[in-house]
Structure 1
Amino acid sequence: MLAMPAMAEPLRLAAAGSLRAALAEVSAAFETAPGGVAVAQSYAPSGLLRQRIAAGEAFDVFASANMEHPRAVERGQPTAAFARNRLCALARPGLEVTPEALLARMLDPALRLGTSTPGADPAGDYAFALFARAEAVQPGARAALEGKARLLTGGPDSARPPEGRDPYAWQFERDAADLFLTYCTNAVLARAADPRLQQVAVPPALEVAAEYGVVVLTPRPEAAGFVRFLLAPPGQEILARHGFAPPASP
């Protein structure tokens, strides 16, 4: 009997949690593309994934919600920017808030402001960068916002939602925050889980760009192929459907 050809090992992808829906679709498309293979996907906050990779956990590709974490674990291949995101605010049902009043509402001592965890999750770093921008709008705002922010997601010890529940809608369900700063793509998913939530745009004076980076970690041809697919029109079209913008021009 003829021996059956050996199946290629799955590609090991480590990716930011905010990419879960988009990269699950990218991975499915890559698996059926020429040269594609099955993709074993692991999602977690980018900073925690960087720590796991630095400690020796084996992955072929690392897709992060910032450029710094993949650059910290580069192994000869440079990090490529592949998408951009923006911050939005999620507000609990019934809370009166507009983009123009967002800073005042975040500063309101009576309102609880949630963010992700800086260092472990870039969404938290971007939120604190927004706080720094707020200082130019209202002196003293940075210290006040940093002092009141509740680091509710993205950390190694953050409370985890029940299986299958949206992590941001769940924060409101358990009454942990009145406002929550997160990626706009996350806000869309949270509102799909609970349409009563409000998505509030961040005003231009406070906007912070979120640049996503991807790096190849092993010499496997499939790893480089996955990144090419991600950067090519098929991958970019999938990312756009999930609310991501293309990377900034060099």
Structure 2
Amino acid sequence: MRKITIATTNDGYKLEEMGHQPWHEYDGLSIDFILDFKHIPEKEYLLKVTSLSKEFDWINVEDGNFIFDLEKIKRNFNVFSECKWMKSYITLKPNYEPALDDSKFIVSFSATKKEIEVNAPKKIFLSHKGADKPLVREYFQLLKELGFDPWLDEDAMAAGTKLNRGIYQGFKESCAAIFFVTPSFKDEDYLEDEVDYAIDEQKEKGDKFAIITLALKDQDGKTGEIPGLLRKYVYKEPSSQLEAFREIIRALPLETGNKVWKN
């Protein structure tokens, strides 16, 4: 378990980091706030932690929930610099425990590597030309009905979001990118960026990120041209929407859920 400690002092706080200790069974993240409770009533521990959190851009507190930006933590602390599993965000609950020094008290937030990976966002980015949105929306609805979390620009980005930033964040939160390559699809502008982002994510996440490319025919029977950078990855030319959807499900790095009764 890799640890960050934030200890209150007379003039503010002291920040330290510690690498994974071999006696810990699991690797992961632990953030400990060490409070001098001689000067803090017990009921105010969490208020103090919330106040301290404002000092760091990698912690965000919303409605009492503590949200940790794992990528910012990775950039700010050397002990996490080689941890590929430090991705996206995670919400953690506080744990309370006395410190070895009986004048101190610890409020800690922790998660194992496995817990971080399990809780990582698993969105599915749907890359397409605007003219093909009605077609792509059908796949979007099907994926949602099956319990997946598809990412479609008009639904995923709030008004006012810069398009390139929104797209970049969408890829960071995704475990797959599906390219719907019709004759309308051109490897230029934002679509060019999406191809680059997908390749970067695949290199970084390995088998936790899939690039799924579908060469689709239009009403005249013409097939879209696969961008050069995507040709080194397996791509399919499905003869029907049903076959295309089957290829998507087979290629996703996710298992389908358990079969349970609706009621």
Query: TM-score under structure 2 normalisation?
Result: 0.23
Largest Rg, 1 or 2: 2
Q: Which structure shows the bigger proportion of residues in strand conformation? A: 2
TM-score, scaled relative to structure 1: 0.24
Q: Which has the higher helix share?
A: 1
Q: Which has the higher contact order (CA 8 A, sep 6+)?
A: 1
